[in-house]
């Protein structure tokens, strides 16, 4: 059973020449089949956690460990991490002009699966996944994320999640910027992947809204670079009612 | 001025835009123009042209239009004969493929077609003009719709060569013309393209030289009434390549799409200087040049001068230059200049940006399992793809993308 272990993770960023510590000792274990929600106010370091696990060069891990099935993730390159089974749905997906979605998806699936998917079944697979996410087939010919609306970007991220079938999915504010319809479509996509029982999900969010569609098994409150409280789904309701003030001293709704 | 022209759309570097009253010579230098000093320049329209090399002073390298070019590497193409200049001793192998509907003749310098598309704009072009007594004129018959491209293949085998070719596409004809340069040597050429009224021409010049070749070319494009021309410059090879495309319009309704891509490696100097002279009403010009650079002292220069003269009402023009620096130590100069002498235009804009390889794009692709080398290839392919796609000749588009791959493979082999 796939397991992601984060142990006492400390991460800094380079802020005008000086190292600024953002993550201050994160401990978390996510197992296949589980869904963990990480909830915290803006600036608490949620994206930093997601990016550090994925290996973004901007972040420096100063101490701690990240293990996937006991393997040292931190010593892997970004693409090795993805091939090992990690997937990051980004809060702000990057535009890649001139690279079509179709080409991108196939190149990526080929890399992750270790061989090029058979063309006929691949086209069917992509079309089926796009239909379920209510994406126009013409989408495949557009450049990756270029000129996409916020909702289209998030659908495109979840499309990749469905096609790449990772062991561990990190979903960074997948709900932000989505209207209710889009949120439902995107959540259903995540739920289809969860229903396979083969993915461990780390659902990062500021607001409780998405948790009405995607029920977490565990909720962790994230503040000032670490997990400050953990509980079950009921903790989300407490946050909904009381906000983050208790953890940050600043009144902010969840 | 009764309406404000639309100026910069999405420009990420500042550049010179001047809106002048008719007749005034507009100063074009300014912050962000890439100019090293802010001398006041005459309007581009006032720069002299001549068929006589003696009308151009010997080059010092300080001239506005030569200041980026390393004259030492010009193989004496800028020196007059008897003055240390290079005599024509080159042995080019030239193959001309003429499909049905196209013919070719050699004519003397007094033939009117030889001077129709435009006069030399600088000393090297004038020297090349003077050196070529027999000019090749390729004619595409009126109303002929060519089913295959006209191809002129130059295979240079060293030495110095001067060339002058005129493509005379008669009214209502449709043609694709491909000029392909391979091999080595020093070559200075005038290439004229006369696009007859309502004709449609795609003109492609590929500079696929060996690494040590030197190539200067002035391209003159004369666009007829309601004619459409798409010109594509593809520059990959050579030690020094300097191309000066000039576009003029004879009558309203002309449409010029000017595309270019270039890829400079270690030490290469690849320069493209465009001038679009809008002097009649209702014409359009649209420029897209993209370049990639890699390796120590790779240098590219792109200059896009667009002049909208007072008479050129309802002009629609836009120019874009983007450069992608793949490694440290490369340098891309990008200088768009837009001079506008009438406010009665449809649109006028430019954008110029030079950027490093985007680490965020790389991260995104790698985060989807794609190895770094392949991710870089995808990004660079993507960078060029939107220019290549506009060429509209699938076979050529594939060849060019394959060339891009080759260039990238060189980088990855380092
Ligand atoms: N390059 C950087 N330089 C300085 N501070 C940064 C940089 N990147 C992120 N930060 C800071 O790190 C903190 C955490 O950011 P982030 O992980 O994006 O938070 P969240 O996703 O929870 O909103 C914020 O205070 C942010 O300002
Ligand atoms: Mg965030």
How does pLDDT run across A94-121, given as a tens digit for each residue?
A: 999 889 999 999 999 999 999 999 999 9
Nearest CB partner across the interface for B383, out of A81, A98, A144: A98
The gap between the terminal CA atoms of chain A, to the nearest Å, is 33
- Give me B280's structure tokens: 């009649």
Alpha-carbon distance B40 to nearest alpha carbon in chain A (angstroms): 38
Q: Which residues of chain B have pLDDT under 50?
A: 1-40, 414
Alpha-carbon distance B335 to nearest alpha carbon in chain A (angstroms): 23
What residue ranges do the domains of chain B occupy?
Answer: 72-356, 358-414
C-beta of A225 in contact with ligand 1 (< 6 A): no
C-beta of A41 in contact with ligand 1 (< 6 A): no
Q: Determine how β-strand A200-205 pairs with β-strand A143-144.
A: unpaired
Q: Determine how β-strand B174-195 pairs with β-strand B214-223.
A: parallel
Outline where chain A has alpha helix (H).
Answer: 46-54, 78-84, 101-113, 119-132, 150-164, 180-195, 234-242, 245-248
Handedness of CA A70, A74, A76, A77 (dihedral sign): positive
Give residue B1's pLDDT. 33
Question: Cα of A92 to ligand 2 centre, how many Å?
Answer: 9
pLDDT tens string A186-221: 999 999 999 999 999 999 999 999 999 999 999 999
Alpha-carbon distance B373 to nearest alpha carbon in chain A (angstroms): 11
Strand order in the sheet with A59-68: A18-31, A3-15, A59-68, A71-72
Whether the CB-CB separation of B339 and B277 falls below 8 Å is answered with no
**Nearest Cα residue to B4 out of B311, B310, B343:** B343
Whether the CB-CB separation of B260 and B234 falls below 8 Å is answered with yes
B364 touches chain A (CB under 8 A): yes
A3-91+167-248: which CATH architecture? 3-Layer(aba) Sandwich (3.40)
Give residue B24's pLDDT. 35
In chain A, what are the helix, strand and coil shares in percent, each to the nearest 5? Answer: 40, 30, 30
Whether the CB-CB separation of B311 and B343 falls below 8 Å is answered with no
- Give me B406's structure tokens: 């080759």
C-beta of A166 in contact with ligand 1 (< 6 A): no
Give the mutation candidate from B359, B368, B386, B389 for the A interface (greatest A CB count, under 10 A).
Answer: B368
C-beta of A93 in contact with ligand 1 (< 6 A): no
Place of tokens 């001793």: B89
Nearest residue in A to B389, CA atom: A98
Question: Cα of A154 to ligand 2 centre, how many Å?
Answer: 14
**Nearest atom of ligand 1 to the alpha carbon of A40:** 22
C-beta of A43 in contact with ligand 1 (< 6 A): yes
Handedness of CA B159, B134, B175, B290 (dihedral sign): positive
Handedness of CA B264, B390, A105, A205 (dihedral sign): positive
C-beta of A42 in contact with ligand 1 (< 6 A): yes
Name chain A contacts of B382, Cβ cutoff 8 Å: 96-99, 143
**Nearest Cα residue to B332 out of B359, B358, B302:** B302
Q: Which residues pair with B345 in a beta bridge?
A: none
Alpha-carbon distance A109 to nearest alpha carbon in chain B (angstroms): 8
pLDDT tens across the length of chain A (254 residues) = 899 999 999 999 998 889 999 999 999 999 999 999 999 999 999 999 999 999 999 999 999 999 999 999 999 999 999 999 999 999 999 999 889 999 999 999 999 999 999 999 999 999 999 999 999 999 999 999 999 999 999 999 999 999 999 999 999 999 998 999 999 999 999 999 999 999 999 999 999 999 999 999 999 999 999 999 999 999 999 999 999 988 888 777 77
B386 touches chain A (CB under 8 A): yes
Element (H, E) at A72: strand A71-72
**Spatial distance between the Cα atoms of B253 and B251, rounded to a whole number of angstroms:** 7
Which positions ≥6 away from B265 have C-beta within 8 Å? Answer: B294, B295, B298, B407, B410, B411
pTM (2 decimals)?
0.81
A82 touches chain B (CB under 8 A): yes
**In this structure, what are the phi and psi dihedrals at residue B372, rounded to the nearest 5 degrees?**
-55, -45
C-beta of A19 in contact with ligand 1 (< 6 A): no
Question: Cα of B363 to ligand 1 centre, how many Å?
Answer: 18
Give residue B2's pLDDT. 35
Give residue B210's pLDDT. 96
Question: Cα of B76 to ligand 2 centre, how many Å?
Answer: 60
Question: Cα of A117 to ligand 2 centre, how many Å?
Answer: 33
**CB contact (8 A) between residue A164 and residue B382:** no
Q: How remote is the C-alpha of B389 from its chain's centroid?
A: 18
Give residue A246's pLDDT. 87
């Amino acid at each position: 059973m796939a397991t992601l272990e984060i142990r006492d993770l400390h991460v800094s960023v380079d802020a005008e020449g000086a190292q600024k510590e953002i993550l201050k000792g994160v401990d978390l274990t996510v197992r296949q089949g589980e869904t963990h929600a990480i909830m915290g106010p803006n600036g608490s370091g949620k994206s930093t956690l997601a990016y550090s696990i994925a290996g973004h060069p901007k972040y420096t891990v100063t101490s701690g460990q990240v293990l996937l099935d006991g393997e040292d993730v931190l010593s892997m390159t970004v693409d090795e991490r993805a091939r090992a089974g990690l997937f990051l749905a980004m809060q702000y997906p990057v535009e890649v002009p001139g690279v079509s979605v179709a080409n991108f998806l196939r190149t990526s699936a080929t890399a992750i699966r270790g061989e090029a998917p058979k063309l006929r079944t691949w086209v069917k697979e992509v079309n089926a996944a796009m239909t379920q996410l209510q994406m126009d087939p013409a989408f495949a010919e557009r450049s990756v994320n270029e000129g996409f609306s916020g909702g289209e970007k998030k659908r495109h991220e979840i499309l990749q999640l469905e096609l790449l079938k990772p062991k561990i999915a990190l979903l960074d504010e997948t709900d932000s910027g989505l209207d209710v319809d889009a949120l439902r479509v995107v959540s259903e996509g995540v739920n289809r992947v969860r229903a396979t029982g083969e993915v461990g999900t780390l659902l990062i969010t500021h607001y409780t809204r998405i948790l009405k569609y995607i029920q977490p098994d565990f909720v962790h409150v994230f503040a000032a670079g670490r997990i400050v409280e953990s509980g079950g789904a009921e903790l989300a309701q407490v946050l909904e009612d009381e906000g983050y003030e208790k953890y940050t001293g600043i009144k902010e709704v969840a | 001025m009764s309406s404000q022209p639309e100026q910069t759309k999405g420009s990420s570097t500042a550049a010179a835009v001047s809106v002048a009253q008719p007749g005034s010579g507009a100063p074009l230098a300014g912050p962000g123009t890439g100019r090293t000093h802010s001398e006041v320049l005459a309007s581009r329209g006032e720069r002299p042209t001549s068929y006589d090399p003696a009308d151009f002073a010997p080059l010092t390298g300080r001239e506005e239009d030569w200041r980026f070019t390393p004259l030492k590497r010009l193989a004496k193409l800028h020196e007059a004969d008897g003055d240390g200049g290079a005599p024509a001793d080159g042995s080019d192998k030239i193959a001309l493929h003429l499909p049905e509907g196209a013919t070719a003749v050699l004519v003397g310098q007094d033939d009117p077609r030889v001077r129709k598309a435009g006069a030399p704009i600088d000393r090297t072009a004038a020297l090349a003009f003077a050196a070529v007594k027999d000019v090749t004129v390729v004619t595409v018959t009126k109303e002929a719709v060519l089913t295959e491209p006209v191809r002129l293949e130059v295979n240079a085998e060293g030495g110095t060569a001067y060339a002058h070719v005129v493509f005379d596409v008669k009214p209502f004809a449709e043609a694709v013309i491909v000029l392909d340069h391979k091999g080595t040597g020093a070559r200075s050429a005038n290439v004229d393209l006369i696009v007859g009224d309502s004709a449609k021409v795609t003109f492609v010049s590929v500079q696929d030289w060996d690494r040590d070749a030197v190539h200067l070319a002035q391209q003159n494009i004369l666009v007829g009434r309601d004619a459409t021309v798409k010109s594509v410059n593809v520059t990959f090879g050579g030690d020094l390549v300097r191309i000066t495309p000039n576009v003029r319009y004879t009558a309203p309704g002309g449409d010029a799409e000017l595309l270019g891509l270039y890829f400079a490696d270690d030490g290469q100097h690849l320069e493209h200087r465009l001038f679009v002279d809008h002097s009649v009403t209702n014409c359009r010009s649209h420029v897209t040049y993209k370049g990639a650079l890699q390796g120590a002292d790779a240098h590219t220069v792109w200059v896009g001068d667009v002049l909208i003269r007072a008479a050129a009402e309802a002009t629609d023009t836009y120019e874009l230059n983007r450069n992608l620096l793949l490694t440290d130590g490369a340098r891309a100069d990008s200088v768009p200049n837009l001079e506008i002498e009438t406010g009665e235009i449809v649109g006028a804009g430019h954008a110029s940006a030079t950027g490093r390889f985007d680490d965020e794009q790389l991260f995104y692709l790698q985060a989807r399992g794609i190895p770094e080398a392949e991710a870089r290839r995808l990004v660079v392919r993507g960078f060029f793809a939107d220019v290549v796609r506009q060429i509209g000749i699938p076979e050529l588009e594939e060849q060019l993308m394959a060339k891009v791959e080759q260039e990238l493979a060189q980088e990855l082999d380092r």
